[in-house]
């Protein structure tokens, strides 16, 4: 159904038709305010007012804390806390990843799944030096050695040279479970003790090595000078680091039962001089 042209003209005329709005005093009927207005002006003013109200309400909701009371909107403090927790979670994930790598490396060390250099069992010298130790002495050589030892027994020069050897103390209090034996390739003294028993330095010196090994667990090696080196193996805890200076009687480790070659809680103690092993009982009283 087509709208007639006369109807359109009439509608536009109604919209544009002017009216006078007058405000009168109710008592005196005195005219206070009057102004002209049309229907289209009323619609325009109403639309502008609605737009202003909507814009103002939106600004209040988006840029003031009032929006926190609207369902579905979170508070600014809660959002900041969520962001902080997100950053911390990311940092913790990174730490967990690094810890997993560290644990996997430790597992490889403990299981021996590493390329390592083979050393003689429970010792730090090469096989060639060990072979020199197990060569049987001849009768003449033994007699000659005894004569030399007797001659030098009261030699003041030798006593002065090796004076530190005669001042050594026992590294730990316990029962000797296995003695020094070149024939059995056990170049040490094993002292049976409880796990966690303090291990002491036999003399003043400096730590050459403080490390974990697959075969002998936590190992500590100390250089005491005068070509004397002491070795402490199978510890449960090392209290000194490489390069640390130690004093005689100072606690350097805690005994344990670590390493593949251990047979129970004990301290494996070795003495070396000029590249050769020494029976610790010849210099230290373990009783």
* pLDDT for res 206: 94
Please report, for the chain, the start and end positions of each structural domain, with discontinuous segments joined by +.
5-66, 153-282
pLDDT at residue 159 greater than cutoff 50: no
CA distance 42 to 33: 17
Residue 128 φ then ψ, to 5°: -65, -45
Radius of gyration over every alpha carbon of the chain, rounded to an integer in angstroms = 48
User: What CA–CA distance (Å, rounded) separates 145 from 29?
Assistant: 146
Pairing of strands 245-246, 251-255: unpaired
Give the Cα separation of 18 and 268 in Å (integer).
115
Question: Across all residues in the chain, what is the average pLDDT?
Answer: 78
Q: pLDDT above 70 covers what percent of the chain?
A: 72
CA distance 115 to 246: 33
CATH numeric code, 153-282: 2.70.70.10
Of residues 74 and 225, more confidently modeled: 225
Per-residue pLDDT tens digits for 99-113? 888 777 766 655 556
Q: What is the pLDDT of residues 239-286, one digit of tens each?
A: 999 999 999 999 999 999 998 888 889 999 999 988 888 899 988 888
Structure confidence by residue, pLDDT tens digits, 34-57: 777 777 888 888 999 999 999 988
pLDDT at 125: 46
Is the per-residue pLDDT at 141 higher than 60? Answer: yes
Q: How far apart are CA 140 and CA 117, in angstroms?
A: 39
Query: Tell me, what's the pLDDT at 116?
Result: 46
User: Residue 68's pLDDT band (boundaries 50, 70, 90)?
Assistant: low
> Are 99 and 92 spatial neighbours (Cβ–Cβ below 8 Å)?
no
Beta bridge partners of 254: 198, 237
Q: What is the pLDDT of residue 50?
A: 93
Helix axes 5-16, 39-63, angle to 10 degrees: 70
Maximum Cα–Cα distance across the chain: 153
């Amino acid at each position: 159904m087509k709208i007639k042209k006369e109807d359109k003209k009439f509608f536009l005329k109604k919209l544009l038709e002017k009216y006078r709005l007058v405000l009168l005093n109710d008592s005196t009927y005195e005219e206070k305010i009057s102004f002209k207005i049309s229907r289209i002006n009323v619609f325009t003013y109403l639309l502008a007012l609605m737009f202003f109200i909507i814009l103002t309400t939106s600004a209040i909701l988006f840029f003031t804390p009032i929006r926190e009371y609207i369902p579905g909107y979170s508070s600014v403090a809660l959002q900041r806390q969520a962001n902080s927790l997100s950053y911390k979670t990311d940092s913790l994930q990174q730490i967990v990843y690094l810890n997993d790598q560290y644990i996997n490396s430790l597992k490889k060390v403990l299981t021996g799944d590493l390329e390592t250099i083979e050393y003689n069992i429970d010792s730090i010298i090469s096989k060639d030096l060990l072979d020199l130790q197990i060569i049987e002495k001849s009768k003449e050589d033994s007699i000659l050695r005894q004569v030399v030892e007797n001659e030098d027994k009261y030699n003041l020069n030798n006593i002065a040279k090796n004076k530190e050897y005669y001042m050594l103390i026992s590294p730990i209090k316990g029962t000797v479970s296995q003695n020094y034996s070149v024939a059995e390739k056990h170049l040490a003294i094993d002292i049976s003790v409880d796990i966690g028993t303090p291990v002491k330095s036999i003399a003043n010196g400096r730590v050459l090595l403080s490390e974990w090994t697959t075969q002998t667990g936590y190992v500590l090696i100390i250089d005491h000078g005068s070509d004397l080196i002491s070795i402490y193996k199978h510890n449960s805890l090392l209290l000194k680091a490489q390069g640390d200076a130690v004093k005689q009687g100072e606690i350097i480790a805690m005994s344990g039962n670590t390493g593949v070659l251990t047979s129970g809680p004990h301290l494996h103690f070795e003495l070396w001089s000029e590249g050769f092993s020494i029976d610790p009982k010849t210099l230290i009283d373990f009783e």
